[in-house]
Amino acid sequence: MTQPISITSIASISALGSSQNKIWENYLLDKHFLSEKEVSGKQVFVGQISRENQQKIDELRKSDAKYKNLDDSVLFAIYVSRDAIKTAHWDSKDNFGVNFGSSRGATTLFEKYHQEFLETKKSSTLSSPTTTLGNISSWVAHDLQTSGPEISHSITCSTALHSLLNGIAWINSGMSDKFLVGGSEAALTDFTIAQMQALKVYAKNKDAYPCKSFDLEKKQNTMVLGEGASAICLEKGKKEYALATISGVGFATEVLKHNTSISTDAICFQKSMKMALGNISPDEIDVIVMHAPGTIKGDQSEINAISKIFCNKTAFSNY
């Protein structure tokens, strides 16, 4: 980090809600916010946005004729981006950059248009522009009328964090003073869930908590897919009105031995945490937010990596 970066606004929409106060209230409740969805004739757990919030997305779709053919992943991103820049008091004249990442992209539309092609051997005119990876950031930039740079990418589960990393890099390069970063997913489709089931990582239990991220004694994988989006406003330097300040970042890539593998001690996680810490002592860190997807090997490898860096001075919480 060549200079601190301020987070001046955060907005999100998920199964937990769409307002920061409501999301925090729901986090503190002793219950999960997963729901059941029928997939290939069977009920599975998913993290679905509420009917109330889906109605807001539907209203957004109807608000502009150009938006009616967009995937929910794009509309989720537009929704949270509007909220984020409103709170940060940004406007189009700021020429801020936009970087939204998505692991899956326009999944619903891609599957719809592919099915149409299989049945008719023809493709809809809009099938390409509405399913490309750059589709999300470009529509967010259009909606907010910013002429700054717009970037899109996909790096599986860490996609949104890489958006944050990219935003910081652009600001530190001197090419931009402000960047809107985030991630958006709307992948609760039969095919996507079937892919996760094929990997044998999807939750099957009907317990009080279907996803058992911090249960290190679990005997089966318990990952549950969700949908939603989040946007963060980044600004150069320390701002008095900042919600938080980013003073260090870290990144690493692990050479895989298998398509879905990760090392027992998550070497890449250790490297990225060391880089983020820099000269800061591990004892000064108050909170670590894990990925913890609810898989046996994935959760344990994360905990092993954290224990290596923080000398086992750790306690795990469901919050």
**Domains present along the chain, CATH in parentheses:** 5-188+225-247 (3.40.47.10)
Pick 265 or 53 by higher pLDDT.
Answer: 53
pLDDT digits (tens, 9 = 90+) for 136-187: 999 999 999 999 999 999 988 899 999 999 999 999 999 999 999 999 999 9
Residue identified by tokens 């929910």 is 72
Pick 214 or 284 by higher pLDDT.
Answer: 284
Other C-beta atoms closer than 10 Å to the C-beta of 239 total 15
In the predicted model, is pLDDT for residue 319 greater than 50? no
**Which CA distances in Å does 275 have to 76, 122, 166, 280, 307?**
32, 50, 16, 10, 16
Per-residue pLDDT at 317: 56
**Which CA distances in Å does 199 have to 15, 74, 108, 226?**
24, 27, 21, 17
Contacts of 285 (CB under 8 A, 6+ apart): 277, 310
Mean pLDDT of the chain: 92
**Residues 189-217: what's their mean pLDDT?**
91
Q: Tokens standing for 271?
A: 């490297």
Per-residue pLDDT at 316: 58
Q: Tokens standing for 259?
A: 């398509």
Specify the 3-state DSSP secondary structure of 68: coil
In the predicted model, is pLDDT for residue 14 greater than 80? yes
Q: Tokens standing for 197?
A: 């089931």
Residue identified by tokens 């537009």 is 78
Per-residue pLDDT at 109: 96
pLDDT digits (tens, 9 = 90+) for 52-83: 999 999 999 999 999 999 999 999 999 999 99
